[in-house]
Amino acid sequence: MADETTATPATPAAAAPHSTGGPSSGPRGPRPGGPGAGGPGGRKFFRRKKVCKFCTEKIDAIPYRDVRLLQGFVAERGKIVPRRLTGVCTTHQRQLSVAIKQARNIALLPFAARF
């Protein structure tokens, strides 16, 4: 039983690969005005991207006959999903609510789901 611990001499890698790349242009300073940590209070609910769907698709008038479209913004019980969950902008949310109400009146959407 040899008590000696054979210490392997860790030789530092003297021969570092010398990259022939030029010096990185641009001073590498600290982040300019970067926010600190992620911030207090992590958000758990990421429903979708916070981009208005109608703005991205450039829909001016929301078609109230398009039930499939409207149902994406109506909860199961028939309530209109609030804007902060869907990410719809203010003007489109207004049009959306009008469109949903029109669709309700012609019985395309339920006023309230039955249970």
Closer residue to Zn ion (CB): 67 or 89 = 89
Q: Which is nearer to Zn ion, 91 or 105 (CB)?
A: 91
- Of 50, 51, 55, 105, the one binding Zn ion (CB under 5 A) is 55
**Total Cβ atoms within 10 A of residue 74:** 19
Least distance to Zn ion from the beta carbon of 76, Å? 24
Nearest to 70 by CA among 39, 105, 38: 105
Stretch that binds Zn ion, among 20-28, 41-49, 77-85, 88-96 (CB under 5 A): 88-96
Q: Is 74 in the site for Zn ion (CB under 5 A)?
A: no
For 10-114, list the strands marked E by DSSP: none
Closest distance between Zn ion and the C-beta of residue 91, in Å?
6
Minimum distance from residue 93 beta carbon to Zn ion (Å)? 8
DSSP 8-state class, residue 4: -
CB of 88 closer than 8 Å to CB of 52: yes
Which of 59, 81, 89, 108 contacts Zn ion by CB under 5 A?
89
> What residue ranges bind Zn ion (CB under 5 A)?
52, 54-55, 89, 92
